[in-house]
Amino acid sequence: MSEVSWLQAVLGGVLGLLVGSFLNVVIHRLPKMMEQRWKAECAELSGREAPAEERFNLMAPRSRCPHCGHQIGWHENIPVLSYLFLRGKCSACRKPISARYPMVEVATGALFAFCAWRWGWTPSAAIWCVFAAALVALTLIDWDTTLLPDDITLPLLWAGLIGSAMDWIGVPLANALWGAVAGYLSLWLVYWGFKLATGKEGMGFGDFKLFAALGAWFGWQALVPIILMASVIGALVGIGMKMNSSLREGGVIPFGPFLALGGITAMLFGPESILRVIGLA
């Protein structure tokens, strides 16, 4: 790695740590914001006045300790460093802080560093950083809530099409367009086939939109490698959780996180490498 590439990777990693800190807020708050919207819509449809609630969005209120309500100061919110300095505990009540917060920051920092190293300081690097950040957020939101918010999946889909049109992601626009179409329709058909055969819903509509977005970013040719990687990872995780008796009630495992991990793998190594790993190329 040249000195310039090394410096770009370091700066990209630092930016990623900061973005990762913000993603922790998105992962925690966006599902709650969606619930508030649903409550307001239900109240409006039923002719009732929506209950007054505290202003709640990605910016307000300030972050607090979930145990004691202590407001987190700026010096307690420095990515990774604050967690290490506080030894993983709230400065007020000394209750433990989840290790997932610094893990999200480190993962986002590593992905941003990779993008900066591979594409330099270019529009391609910027848009792939957006791709990585969106998939990190979607992975954990879906894992926590089994929701894949349209607020992220639809902009991700459009970003892929725009990136293709601007020649930032290396995928011809026709391939990206048909990738989005094939990604959505393939899982839509699986959903309805499974529902007609069993009377149950095997996945949510958010999975269709996420797979469509991945088709837009990588082209229709990458859909098979990505879905295979997602299925393999999902099967391994599901078996591990079953052996450890850690499955949720009803045995539900969201598929979105594994689709996202398949997309991250395709970004890091290329869709063709996935087929080589599983022995199909």
Is the Cβ–Cβ distance between 256 and 210 less than 8 Å?
A: yes
Residue 279, pLDDT above cutoff 80: no
Q: Tell me the three state secondary structure of residue 48.
A: coil
- The number of angstroms, rounded, from the C-alpha of 21 to the middle of its chain's C-alpha atoms is 14
The tokens describing 180, both together, are: 């989005």
Using only C-alpha atoms, the chain has a radius of gyration, in whole angstroms, of: 20
**For residues 259 and 207, is the Cβ–Cβ distance under 8 A?**
yes
Residue 9 CA to residue 110 CA, distance in Å, equals 9
User: Best-predicted range by mean pLDDT among 63-67, 89-93, 219-223, 247-251?
Assistant: 219-223
pLDDT value for 212: 98
E-strand ranges in the chain read none
- pLDDT value of position 154: 97
Q: What is the model's pLDDT at position 15?
A: 97
Q: Are 218 and 179 in contact (CB under 8 A)?
A: yes
Give pLDDT tens digits for 212-254.
Answer: 999 999 999 999 999 988 988 888 888 888 788 777 766 678 9
Q: Which of 173, 140, 143 is nearest to 158 (CA)?
A: 173
Per-residue pLDDT band at 36 (split at 50, 70, 90): confident
Sign of CA dihedral 154, 122, 268, 108: negative
